[in-house]
Amino acid sequence: MAKANESATIDKSDNSIGKSPAESSVLVVGAGGIGCELLKSLALCRFRSIGVIDLDTIEVSNLNRQFLFRREHVGQPKATVACDSIRRLCPSINIEPFHGDVITDPRFDISFYKRYDLVINALDNVQARQHVNRMCLLCSKPLIDSGSTGYNGQATLILKGRTQCYDCIEKPKQQRTYAVCTIRNTPSQPIHCIVWAKFLYNQLFGDNDDPNNEDVTPDADDPENGTNGQEAVSSTTENGHHRISTRDWIQAEMEEFQPVRIFNKLFFDDINYLTTMKNLWEKRRQPIPIQYEQARQIQEKTLNGQSDHEQSATPKLNDQRIQSINEYAQMFIESLNELKQRCDKQRQAASSSKEPAFLVWDKNDDADLRFVTASANLRAYIFGINLTSKFDVKSMAGNIIPAVATTNAIVAGITVLQARKVLATLPRSSNDHTLTSIKQLTNVFISTDRKTGAIIQSIQLEEPNPSCIQCSDLEQPVRVRLNMSLFTLHSLYERLIRKHLKMNKPDVIIADGSGRILVSADDDEDEEMMLKTLDQFKLINGTILLCEEEYDDETNEALLQHMKIKLMLEHTDTITDKNEYIIVDDQVIGEIKQIKQSLKRKHIEDDDDDDDNIQHLDDYQNEINIVKKTKKLSTSHDEHNNGPMHTSFVMLVDDQASA
């Protein structure tokens, strides 16, 4: 690979407002398919200061399109190897790798993002994109979000307050869901069998205490079975075809562990039970149960009458070949034995460490993939469904989005052009990231749908969604400084949220795209959990919490029950008191005060007797007045002090005073 021309000089006579690539620093999040192309293009376009974040390590399957990696790099961090390859291409470049999770790694806080002029996403999952979107909004940094799916792709601009952010448009669900009764009783597609096989993996080796782990046993309450369900249950007992719950049966069976018995239970006994549910098979092909010894004799591997000769006409890799039922039966037993040994070792390790005592299915683990492939195809054969290669099972079970190297290269090239346009609108001042003009900026999409016109299209930038929870000015976060390693969940909820912000009992949700509830208003408090520090929940500098409380017209317990408040947590080691925190922006508190006052007027009209709530507002007004006069409250506390209830652990300051 030829080195970039280092002799080229940068024109310093340019008096334009914008920054040149050599003067700018860029953060690239993701070093995969698009990321490799992007880093190469940035280096060749004279970008000289680049940071690269990626969590993953290199796999063999990456080598066909992620050209910065070679076979000897398998198992090494993508970010590190990508940066080494770019340095060989362009020795003078300043490129720094960061191997870690962009969402949970404490290194990637607000101050980290502030080091860069521009951020570029080259990610393949929604949750990470949402997190980077939030961080760039908080820092007012321009963000370019690049992505591809098959032959389609895009490079969209996100500019705080001037364009739509990543969360302005609701994203489609990434994973389809299937009716449980279809999975357990009446599969009709290969994906149904694959989902069942993953359920089975969790039943055998996963967390048995997880209520979300579905039972793979036939569902006797299938609504399609109608009123004959109970008749079927009673008749099967007489005929010896009992319904035995796999969830219950497996506990004792895994102690004795006889793989052939497990095979016969899943593919013979359970299938025999299903055949007694007559209503299910009136318009369907009835499944044919098979025992292990029978399966070992079946050499069949045809699909819908397709002959072995026709299947072998096109050369295929081993993982792309459809195998015989005999081979899948053998694969099932071998992978079952291997996973049982691994599970036993995992449980032993868990007894002396904090490691989980169960296995988690991984599409990149060969034993995991072989088990699901064998289980799915054995079930598919029983139900007369097309068999699926190991290669396709990995794609379907791992929800892998197809990637095309050519599309990635086109997207990367367009993204670099977008980056140069954005930088051309940035002031040269390192402290000012306000774009001077966005008239020449557009979003760019790549589409093979010729109905839309050209393959590559520039689309006008859209205005921000006024109801977007992330970028709307109607809901600015309250910035709170605290020590994550000392401040407990109890202090956050009881002292900051309930006492200070005067919320009654809200839900507290981590706004990272996962929808994870930190505290639920409907559940009883877990004392052990509430005593944990915030860093134990993987909350980092810049984490946003959404506090939501619905209004209760009947009890009227709190004036703010219909209100939403966002908290942005900022970590600092300078606070050494576990109960101390700092509200950074009293302007936001003033806005909350105005909302409270408007609510006060409303509730005075509705209920003149609501003295308690009005008194809370009066207390809050007194606190605001104290803040305006002193800018800082003493942390010393006298138990008999009748002042504001939170002065023992709160300081309220503005940005200048805290700098």
Query: Is residue 78 a known part of a binding site?
Result: yes
Query: Is residue 34 a known part of a binding site?
Result: yes
The residue annotated as part of the active site, out of 139, 181, 193, 547, is 181
Query: Is residue 321 a known part of a binding site?
Result: no
Query: Is residue 139 a known part of a binding site?
Result: no
Q: What are phi and psi of 211, to 5 degrees?
A: -65, -15
Query: Is residue 228 a known part of a binding site?
Result: no
Query: Is residue 127 a known part of a binding site?
Result: yes
Q: Find how far residue 117's CA is from the centre of its chain.
A: 26
Query: Is residue 513 a known part of a binding site?
Result: no
Query: Is residue 426 a known part of a binding site?
Result: no
- From the list 239, 240, 218, 244, the residue with the least C-alpha distance to 229 is 218
Query: Is residue 64 a known part of a binding site?
Result: yes
Query: Is residue 124 a known part of a binding site?
Result: yes
Please check whether residue 179 is in contact with residue 478, taking contact to mean a CB–CB distance below 8 angstroms: no
Contacts of 469 (CB under 8 A, 6+ apart): 167, 475, 511, 546, 564, 566
Query: Is residue 377 a known part of a binding site?
Result: no
Contacts of 224 (CB under 8 A, 6+ apart): 181, 185, 186, 279, 280
Look up 139 and say whether it is catalytic: no
Asked whether the CA dihedral 364, 368, 370, 374 is positive or negative, the reply is negative
Please check whether residue 531 is in contact with residue 490, taking contact to mean a CB–CB distance below 8 angstroms: yes
DSSP readout, 448-497?
A: --GGGSSSEEEEEPPPPPTT-TTT-GGGPPEEEEE-TTT-BHHIIIIIII
Helix (H) or strand (E) holding 167: none
The beta-carbon contacts of 547-552 under 8 Å, at least 24 apart in sequence, are 547/497, 547/501, 547/503, 547/506, 547/507, 547/508, 547/509, 548/506, 548/507, 548/509, 549/503, 549/504, 549/505, 549/506, 549/507, 549/521
Q: What letter does residue 319 receive in the DSSP assignment? A: G
Rounded to the nearest 10 degrees, how much is the dihedral formed by the CA atoms of 356, 359, 365, 368? Answer: 180
Helix (H) or strand (E) holding 74: none
Q: In angstroms, what CA-CA distances link 315 with 185, 309, 310, 312, 320? A: 36, 11, 11, 6, 9
Query: Is residue 32 a known part of a binding site?
Result: yes
* Tokens describing residue 463: 């205005």
Query: Is residue 515 a known part of a binding site?
Result: no
Query: Is residue 125 a known part of a binding site?
Result: yes
Residue keyed to tokens 């020449």:
440
Known catalytic residues are 181
Residue stretches of the annotated binding site: 30-35, 54, 62-65, 78, 124-129, 165, 168, 468, 471
Residue stretches of the annotated binding site for ATP: 30-35, 54, 62-65, 78, 124-129
Residue stretches of the annotated binding site for Zn(2+): 165, 168, 468, 471
